[in-house]
Amino acid sequence: MRRAAIRLCTLRKGLLAPVRGLTHGFQYPGKDSAFHVYEGSPIHVNHVRDKLREIVGASKNWKDHVQAMEERKLLQGLLVSSQDGLPPRRMKDSYIEVLLPLGSEPALREKYLTVQNTVRFGRILEDLDSLGVLICYMHTKMYSTDMSPLSIVTALVDKIDMCKKSLSPEQDIKFSGHVSWVGKTSMEVKMQMFQAQDTEYCPVLNATFVMVARDSENKRPAFVNPIILESPEEEELFQQGEFNKGRRVAFNSTSLLKVAPSAKERTAIHEMFLSTLDPKTISFQSRILPPNAVWMENSKLKSLEVCHPQERNIFNRIFGGFLMRKAYELAWATACNFGGSRPFIVTVDDIMFQKPVEVGSLLFLSSQVCFTQDKYIQVRVHSEVASLQNKEHMTTNVFHFTFMSEKEVPLVFPRTYGESMLYLDGQRHFNAMGAPVAWPKEYRVGP
C-alpha cells in the first residue's frame, strides 16, 4: 500500500510552457531566452480540424468523400523513396498553440460542460488527438504544395498525466505542443494543456502521442522529415523519445499474451486464490469472497455505438478522438458504479490503435475494473467492431485508464485464469503510473 496519491505532472525540461499572456513563442521553462517563432494569436480550437481538411484536401460533405480521396491519389508522386530526400526540421517548426476559449466564448462552453459544472475530459481527448495530427503536418509541411501527400494518423497514446489543477468550465484553456522525436515513418508529439488563472496559464496535463505517416491513400508507410536538435534540452527530449520507444518494446515483449507471469506475480495470484477458498469445505470449487471485495466479473459495463459519417476523420474513417471519448466515458461510468462515488481521471496510457474503424461499423465497447488499490481504480476498455454485413468481431483498441475515487474502494478478485491475467496486466499499468503526490480536494474532472 505504498501508493497514497497520484503523480503530479511537472514542466519537464524541453516542454513548451506558456507563461503570462496567450502568445509567447517557443521557449524552455526556466530559460531566459525564448525563440519567438510563433507569432500572432493561437489557433481557435474550432479551426484545427478545418486546417486539417485543407492540408489533406478532405471534403466537408460525405457525398463527396470518394471523389476527394481519388484526388489524393495524384499526390503519390510527391512522396520520396528515402528519408534522405527530405529536409530536416527543427522542433520549433512544428510548435503550435491552440485556444479553447471556454471563458471568453460562453456559447462554446456547453459542448464541454458536465452537469456537475466541470469540463468533459472526453472532449479534451478529442482536441488532443486533432492537435497531435496538426503538429505532425507542421513538421512535414511541403512548401512547394498546399496539400500534403502524407496521411498522418494516431498510432498510440503513450501517456496522458493529469496535474493538480482544477478544470473550470469558465476559464480559457490553451494547448501547446511540438514534435519531440522522429523515426523513419513515425513521430512522437509532446503536448501540454494549461488553464487561465488570474494573469497566468497554469499546467493541467502532459500528453505524449505517437503518430505514423502513410502514403496519400493511407495504405503504406511513408517517410517523414528528420529532426535537427539545437540545444541540450532538445537532445534530452529526443533521448526521452528513444527511451520511450525502448520501454514500449520491452513492455510488449513481456506481455501476458506472450509470456507467463513472473514468479512474484504467480505467487500473488495463488495467494489471492487461496484467500477465496471456503474454509468449511476441502474443495477448490467452493469459492467465497473476502470482506470488502468484488468478483471481477461483476465490474463490467458495455455499450454499442453506430459509427455515423458525422464522426469521421479527414480520411473518412472514424475519428480516433471519438473512440477515445466513448471509451473514457464508459470507463468513467464503470469506475463510478464500482466505487460508489464520483471518480476523477489520473492517467491515460498505452492506447494502441490496432485497426481503423470504418464508417457504418458497429462499435462494441466493454469496460471492466481489473485492479484496485486504496482509492485507485484501474479500468480496461476493450473495443471491437463488426460491419453491418459481417458479424465477425475484430479488436480495434484496448484502453487503460487510472481513476481515483473520493473514498476507498473494494478489492477486485479474479475468478478465472483469464481474469487473473487481466488483473496482473492492470497492476502493471497501475505500477507504471510513476511517483505520486497528493491532489487538492477541489480537483474535479468530469466525464
Q: What is the mean pLDDT of each run of 10 residues along the chain (447 residues)?
A: 37 42 46 38 92 86 78 88 95 96 92 91 96 96 90 94 80 96 97 91 94 91 96 96 92 90 96 90 82 95 94 87 96 96 91 89 96 96 87 91 94 96 96 57 47
Q: How far apart are CA 303 and CA 282, in angstroms?
A: 40
Specify the amino acid at residue 419: E
pLDDT for 440 equals 41
Q: How far apart are CA 316 and CA 76, in angstroms?
A: 18
pLDDT for 40 equals 55
The x, y and z cell numbers of residue 41, run together, are 494569436
Please state whether beta strands 200-214 and 293-295 pair in parallel, antiparallel, or not at all (unpaired).
unpaired
DSSP one-letter string for 167-222: --TTS-EEEEEEEEEE-SSEEEEEEEEEEEETTEEEEEEEEEEEEEEE-TTSSSB-
Specify the amino acid at residue 371: F
Specify the amino acid at residue 217: E
User: Using an 8 Å Cβ cutoff, are 109 and 94 in contact?
Assistant: no
Specify the amino acid at residue 76: Q
Q: How far is CA 436 from CA 95, 158, 439, in A?
A: 29, 18, 9
pLDDT for 283 equals 75
Specify the amino acid at residue 222: A
pLDDT for 252 equals 86
User: Using an 8 Å Cβ cutoff, are 338 and 330 in contact?
Assistant: no
The x, y and z cell numbers of residue 60, run together, are 466537408
- Phi and psi (nearest 5°) for 205? -155, 160
Q: How far apart are CA 367 and CA 329, in angstroms?
A: 10
User: Using an 8 Å Cβ cutoff, are 447 and 114 in contact?
Assistant: yes
Rounded to 10 degrees, the C-alpha dihedral 307/309/312/316 comes to: 110
Neighbours of 259 (CB within 10 A): 9
User: Using an 8 Å Cβ cutoff, are 377 and 369 in contact?
Assistant: yes
